Structure 1
Amino acid sequence: MRNYNRRKRVLVSGGAGFLGSHLVERLLDRGDEVLCVDNLFTGSKRNIERFLAHPRFEFVRHDVTFPLYVEVDQIYNLACPASPVHYQHDPVQTTKTSVHGAINMLGLAKRLNARIFQASTSEVYGDPAIHPQSESYWGNVNPIGIRSCYDEGKRCAETLFFDYHRQHKLDIRVARIFNTYGPRMHPNDGRVVSNFIMQALRGEDITIYGDGSQTRSFCYVDDLIDGFIRFMDLSAGADGSPGFPGPINLGNPVEFTIRQLAEMVIRLTASPSKMIFKPLPADDPMQRKPDITLAKKYLNDWAPSVSLEEGLNKTIRYFEEFA
């Protein structure tokens, strides 16, 4: 009955968040029915208010650490605080969201025989000892540090996904997301792009932790969501077996230092802000750059197309109303 009209019904947990709301929009634009599930801890109704009157959109306020009983064809599991400020606010709940949330979403997918996508993270690599990071690298993660609730929660969620895949033949897709930015980011989420833009727009000092030589790779949200959908829609095997489950790195392989990012934000905002330097937080990785060879191989030569300068300009315009 779920497919009686041939239109996919897709569940997006964390659908009122930054990435979730962009995914919801793309799915609605292509004709899917979308069930958005969010407890609004870090998500916002502002992000989805434009969809509330849409005939193919439904919002349910729900915490994924509790079971959910619905009928859908596909599940995107994006529910989890993703910035250090938010995930360190309640670290126990962060781990529960990653682990119990994965168990509940996987149980739902198993009952429905539905394909399920896990939004994992480059944080599973920790402070990497190899550069760039490929999916075969097991990581260098502190299991008892202040970031561990997120890092290890996501690592455990990946374990659960692959065990359900092996034990129950569940059709899974696991993507490891590298730093992503764009409109609808929370202005106070503590992530480097939003921090720098808000400080620059307000004429405040730009706070750099460490000496600014640490690197990140910044992917604009539209490119990332394109990768999500290509991966979820990857065809099953000719023998009827599930398609490639991943993990697959999704991110921009062009690397910038944090200082370069700050200088670009100051220039694009024409801000009088100056850079100040503070001690580096514990377990903050020094390098982060994805190897996207597998994404290119499996996702029809997927690669980011939006430059950092172009993406920052779009993001700055969004943040101007919050400054």
Structure 2
Amino acid sequence: MKKKRVLITGGSGFLGSHICERLLDEGNEVICVDNFFTGSKENILHLMDNPFFEIIRHDVTFPLYIEVDEIYNLACPASPIHYQFDPVQTTKTSVHGAINMLGLAKRIKAKIFQASTSEVYGDPEIHPQPESYWGNVNPIGIRSCYDEGKRCAETLFFDYNRQHNLRIKVGRIFNTYGPRMAMDDGRVVSNFVVQALRGEDITVYGKGDQTRSFCYVDDLVDGIIRLMEDTPDDFTGPMNLGNPDEFTILELAKTVLDLVNSKSKLVFRDLPSDDPMQRKPDISLAKKTTGWEPSIPLRDGLIKTVEYFDSYLKSQ
């Protein structure tokens, strides 16, 4: 295979670092672009000795001039704690960042992937969520900077495709977990695992009967790569990427407690504003188009995640 030069924005983040690693393993040259707001150099330290890997500290809200074959646009805080810290900047990252990366892709005629999100569906009235569903999103809530920013980014991607014949791939990513998650990002898996390992109370919002579908990171990366590499140029997506196995938050908490053998207690707090009650992807399109579906059960993935956080906490 011809070695490709691939740009990954948000490449030092949880998901971005795994994609960097996978593309390097496949023999490509990888350029990681990140401003390190939520990303971490620790996630990519093991890649730095690779002569085909390089890092550029850059904020995607400003233009970037570089020559590459493909672009993976993952730059944006993805957890409520981080994207609500500076909501205006979050919207700028999604919208201005998309404009700048699309402009770059147009100039150099590169294929470009957009990491969209299941949050474009909001608090869904259709279950599970197919790609044809337009969503039920609050445009003025505290999560809107992320939800609407990602929706606008999708709009820009499809307009560049229609207006400039740009080769785009849009993946709507559902809840993903695994090693290299930030332990302070407020996501439910990392919250529960870290609290259980520390023997702290497990914080459950609402009654814990809201559902999520958890996809292990290796499965998710495989789905993204297949969308980019195994679909024809005229296939744009959007394509749901996630695990269709659905669990309540309470089930997740009890599984983590069991795996850690923790004596932590469950503590219930008020449900945050606009927190969706259901989340489950319809992955029929992914199966039909690429043959992709997740293969790692939740319990197996959680074992690997617990091992990672246990090792990380001990090293600190």
TM-score band w.r.t. shorter chain: over 0.9
Q: Deviations over 1:36-62 (max 9, x none)?
A: 000000000000111112111010000
**Once superposed, what is the RMSD of the aligned Cα atoms?**
0.9
Q: 1:112 is matched with which residue: 100, 108, 111?
A: 108
- Tell me the amino acid that sits aligned with residue 180 of structure 1: T
Structure 2 residue aligned with 1:65: 61
CA distance in 1 between counterparts of 2:169 and 2:199 reads 43
Question: 1:68, 1:51 → 2: CA distance?
Answer: 23
Superposed CA deviations along residues 234-290 of structure 1, whole A, max 9, x for unmatched, are 343xxxxx2310000000000000000000000000000110101000000000000
* Partner deviation per Cα, 1:82-106 (whole Å, 9 max, x = no partner): 0000000010000000000000000
Does residue 85 (structure 1) correspond to residue 81 (structure 2)? The answer is yes
Which residue in 2 is equivalent to 1:318? 308
In structure 1, distance between residues paired with 2:46 and 2:200: 32
What is the aligned counterpart of 1:150 among 127, 140, 146?
Answer: 146
Q: Is the 8 A contact 2:211 2:249 kept in 1?
A: yes
Which segments of 5 or more consecutive residues in structure 1 lack a partner in the other structure? 237-241
Give matches, 1:259-274, under 5 Å: 259-274=250-265
* Distance (Å, rounded) in 2 between the aligned partners of 1:273 and 1:173: 43
* 1:121 maps to 2:117: yes
Q: Counterpart of 2:243 in 1: which secondary structure? A: coil
- Give the secondary structure class of the aligned counterpart of 1:201: helix
Amino acid at match of 2:302: L
Which residue does 1:306 correspond to in 2?
296
Q: What is the letter of the counterpart of residue 298 of structure 2?
A: L
Q: TM-score, normalised by structure 2?
A: 0.98
Asked whether the equivalents of residues 231 and 289 of structure 2 are also in contact (C-alpha less than 8 Å), the reply is no
- Deviation of residue 321 (structure 1)? 3.1
The secondary structure found in structure 2 opposite 1:110 is: helix
What's the TM-score, normalizing by structure 1? Answer: 0.96
Amino acid aligned to 2:209: S
- Is contact 1:208-1:278 (8 Å) kept? yes
Runs of at least 4 residues off by over 3 Å = none
Give the AA of the match of 1:58. Answer: E
Identity, in percent, stands at 73
Distance 1:229 1:138, change over 3 A: same
Give the superposition deviation at 1:7. Answer: 1.3
Distance 1:289 1:76 in 2: 24
Q: 1:173 aligns with which of 169, 173, 176?
A: 169
Tell me, yes or no, if the aligned pair for 2:61 and 2:97 is still in contact at 8 Å. yes
Q: How far, CA to CA, are the matches of 1:135 and 1:127 in structure 2?
A: 15
CA distance in 2, matches of 1:229, 1:130: 28
SS at match of 2:44: helix
Question: How many residues get paired?
Answer: 313
Q: Is the 8 A contact 1:28 1:34 kept in 2?
A: yes
Render the CA deviation track for 1:192-219: whole Å, top value 9, x for unaligned. 0000000000011100000000000000
Is the CA contact 1:234–1:243 (under 8 Å) kept in the aligned structure 2? Answer: no
Deviation of residue 6 (structure 1)?
3.2
Cα distance in 1 for residues equivalent to 2:135 and 2:9: 26
Match of 1:239 in 2: none
**One of 33, 36, 42 as aligned partner of 1:37:** 33
The one-letter code matched in structure 2 to 1:319 is F
- Equivalent of 1:295, from 261, 286, 296? 286
- 8 Å CA contact 1:253–1:290 kept in 2: the answer is yes
Residues 54-82 of structure 1, C-alpha deviation per residue, up to 9 Å, x if partnerless? 11101000000000000000000000000
Taking the aligned partners of 2:26 and 2:262, their CA distance within structure 1 comes to 39
Give the equivalent residue in structure 2 for 1:98. Answer: 94
Q: SS at 1:63's partner residue?
A: coil
